[in-house]
Amino acid sequence: MSADSLKISAPLPTVPVSVVKGRELVRLIRESFAAVEPKADELAQYFYGALFAVAPDCRDLFPASMANQRSRLLRALVYVVQMVDRPDELVTFLSQLGRDHRKFAVVSRHYDAVGVALLAALKRFLKEKWTYEVESAWQTAYGLIAKTMRAAAQAETGPAWWAATVLEHRKLTRDVALVKVRTEGLLPYRAGGYVSVEVPQRPRLWRYFSPANAPRGDGELVFHVRAVPGGWVSGSIVNHTRPGDVWRLGPSMGVLNVRPTTTKRRLLMIAGGTGITPMLAILDDLARWKRNPPVHLFFGGRRPEDLYAYDDLRRFAATAPWLTVTPVTEEGALAGGDRGTLAHAVTQRGVWRDHDVLVSGSPPMIQATIAKLLAHGVELERVAYDPFTLD
């Protein structure tokens, strides 16, 4: 469908935003989205057509060829809107996301355009299910989300992104590369956070990566990037990055961190695959403190060769009496390690109720691990993880 064929005009529909609230609002959103989900591809096409018709200048913010990648914005929007019943976590995330969106050159009026396009697409595909209450629910939820993102973006005075020159690129394994960059000007971040990255080989395709080092005031960030099969950006970074390339980095995001002043309890860290990188940054930070809480790190992967950072971790642990590292593999085994999933290994090895817990890895691994920890008596408020991430 071409943008020209659309007859959509701002402003947003005029339903009062306070008609539905709380659980009812979330129920209406989830049920109505479930009804259009089988047509998600067509909905996405209509959404982008509508967006570019309402605000043609938005087109340049998106990747040149949208057919080549799934609809990241729409997927994200729907995902986030369905979380509106978790306002405390959402506000932190949305504020970070709003500041991060400045890297796309998103401006305030684009939020209205996206709202119009979203509601127009839903209306079109929900047909008779697009009731007054459903419209009100989506409008309320989108309105709250956009307000939080917009406010955070407007309050931010720092750069929208930082240029960073690649200093080093080397393979750690066949499919994992280490890339060291140095930013022009300091990008403030806390060990355990993540930043979005755009590389010159893949313009406008930003992806998140977690620095594996703590900030040291020299502007250097080290990334470990795994090439995922069929991945647009990761493969390019692993195979085609060269020293001298200039990357763009967005502002730091995320909730994983350990503060020297407030951390009194023992720490349990659980990391799958390249989810180890924020833990490496935190350990790098901890190594500089005078006194550390005892830390037990479980590092998991499918096969022993997936635990690419294990040898370094073992060497580090030999000099850090406060650190214990347990490798966990699903196939094959490492000396002193456990077999099985991380969730299983961690809960078999001990009782963790008196620990603060940090979890990092793929969304299914995070979900499975936290579910198992909760079933073993760990309180959710003791568990830190980045809850709203998409691949």
Ligand X SMILES: Cc1cc2nc3c(=O)[nH]c(=O)nc-3n(C[C@H](O)[C@H](O)[C@H](O)COP(=O)(O)OP(=O)(O)OC[C@H]3O[C@@H](n4cnc5c(N)ncnc54)[C@H](O)[C@@H]3O)c2cc1C
List residues near ligand HEM by CB under 6 A.
58, 61-63, 69, 72-73, 76-77, 80, 97, 101, 104, 106, 110-111, 114, 145-146, 149, 196, 205-206, 390
230 binds, among ligand X, ligand HEM, none (CB under 5 to 8 A by kind): ligand X
352-375 in b/e form (b: 16+ CB < 10 A) is beebbbbbbbeeebbebbbebbee
Q: Out of 95, 139, 183, 274, name the contact with ligand X by CB under 6 A.
A: 274
User: What minimum distance in Å lies between the beta carbon of 244 and ligand X?
Assistant: 22
State which of residues 73, 233, 270, 343 lies at the interface with ligand X (CB under 6 A). 233
Regarding 232 and contact with ligand X (CB under 6 A), the answer is: yes
CA angle 290, 299, 237 (to 5 degrees): 100
Note the helical H segments in the chain: 22-36, 40-54, 72-81, 87-100, 108-126, 132-155, 234-240, 276-286, 310-319, 342-349, 363-375
| Smallest distance, ligand X to C-beta of residue 344, A | 21
What number of CA atoms fall less than 13 Å from residue 81's CA on the CB side? 27
Q: How far is the CB of 65 from ligand X (least distance, A)?
A: 12
Q: Which does 62 bind (CB under 5 to 8 A by kind): ligand X, ligand HEM, none?
A: ligand HEM
- Residue 102 in contact with ligand X, rule: CB under 6 A: no
Let me know: does 119 contact 139? Beta carbons within 8 Å: yes
Among 21-29, 120-128, 207-215, 374-382, the segment contacting ligand X (CB under 6 A): 207-215
298 binds, among ligand X, ligand HEM, none (CB under 5 to 8 A by kind): none
In terms of CB distance, is 104 or 162 closer to ligand HEM?
Answer: 104
Amino acid in the structure at residue 75: R
Point out which residues pair with 356 in neighbouring strands: 267
CB 59 within 8 A of CB 1: no
By DSSP bridging, strand 220-226 and strand 295-301 are unpaired
Locus of tokens 């096969």:
303
Quickly count: other Cβ atoms within 10 Å of residue 261's Cβ: 5
CB of 76 to ligand HEM, least distance (A): 3
From the list ligand HEM, ligand X, none, partner contacted by residue 196 (C-beta under 5 to 8 A by kind): ligand HEM
Binding site for ligand X (CB under 6 A): 69, 194, 207-210, 223-226, 228, 230-235, 274, 277, 362, 386, 389, 391
